[in-house]
Chain A
Amino acid sequence: MSRKTKWFHSLRVRISLVILLIVLLLEASGGLSLYYFGALNNAVKAQAEQKLPTLRVLNETQLGITRLANLSSMLSRSESPAHSRILMAQVTRQANQVKLGLDALGEGEQVQALKQIVASVVPSMARISIAKDHLDQAEHQLGEKLAQAIRLTTGAIVGAQDKPEDLAKLNILLINLSQLLTADTHYAESQIISTIETTMAPFAAKAVPTHVYLRLVILGEDGVAGALEQRAQYRAEMHGLDTQNRILLGNVVDFGQRVYDDMQDDIVEQARRTSEQATLFAQFLVAILVLQLIIALLLIVFLHKQLFKRLQALHGLVSRQKNITSQDLDHFDERNEVGALVKQLQQYLSTIHQQQQQIALTSQQLQTVIKHSQMKVAVMDHEHLLYCSESLRQIFLEHNLSAVEDFPQTLIEQLRIAEAGQIKQLPEAYFDRLHQRWYDITLDAIYWNGQASLLVSFIDATERVQAAQQYEKTLIEVESEAYIDPLTRLFNRKMFDRQVTLYDANAQQPMAVLLFDVDHFKGYNDRLGHLQGDKVLQMVANVIQRNTPTNGLAIRYGGEEFVVLLPATEAELAVNIAQTIIEDVYAQEVPHPTSPHQFLSLSCGVSVSCDSSEALLNIFDQADKSLYKAKHCGRNCVLLNKQAA
Chain B
Amino acid sequence: MAERSFSNEVEYLRLGHGETFTGEGILAITKALLENGVGYVGGYQGAPISHLMDVLADAQDVLDELGVRFEANASEAAAAAMLAASVHYPIRGAVTFKGPVGVNVAADALANLSSSGVTGGALVIVGEDYGEGSSIMQERSHAFAMKSQFWLLDPRPNLPSITKAVKDGFELSEASNTPVMLMVRIRSCHVTGSFETRDNVVPPLTVKDALRDPRSDFSRVVLPPMSYLHEQDKIANRWPAAETFIVKNGLNEVFGPRNAPLGIVVQGGMYNGVVRALHRLGLADIYGDSKIPIYVLNVTYPLIREEFDQFCVGKGHVLVVEEGQPDFIEQQLGSMLYKSRSSVALHGKDVFPMAGEYTGQVMLDGITAFLKTVAPNLLPGQVRAPNTVAPEIPDLTKTVPIRPPGFCTGCPERPIFAAMKLTEQELGKHQISGDIGCHLFASLPPFEIGGATMGYGLGPASNAAFDGGGERRAISILGDGGFWHNGLSSSIGNMVFNKSDSVVVIVDNYYSAATGGQDVLSSRAQNDTKSTNNPISKALGGIGVEWIRQIDRTYDVGRMRDVLRDALTTDYKGPKVIIASSECMLNKQRREKPQRDLAIHEGQRTSVPRFGVDPDICTGDHACIRLSGCPSLSLKKLDDPLRDDPVAHIDQTCVGCGNCGEVADTAILCPSFYQVDVVHNPKRHEAWRTRQRNKVIAWLQKRRSAKRLAFS
Q: Do A and B come from one complex?
A: no
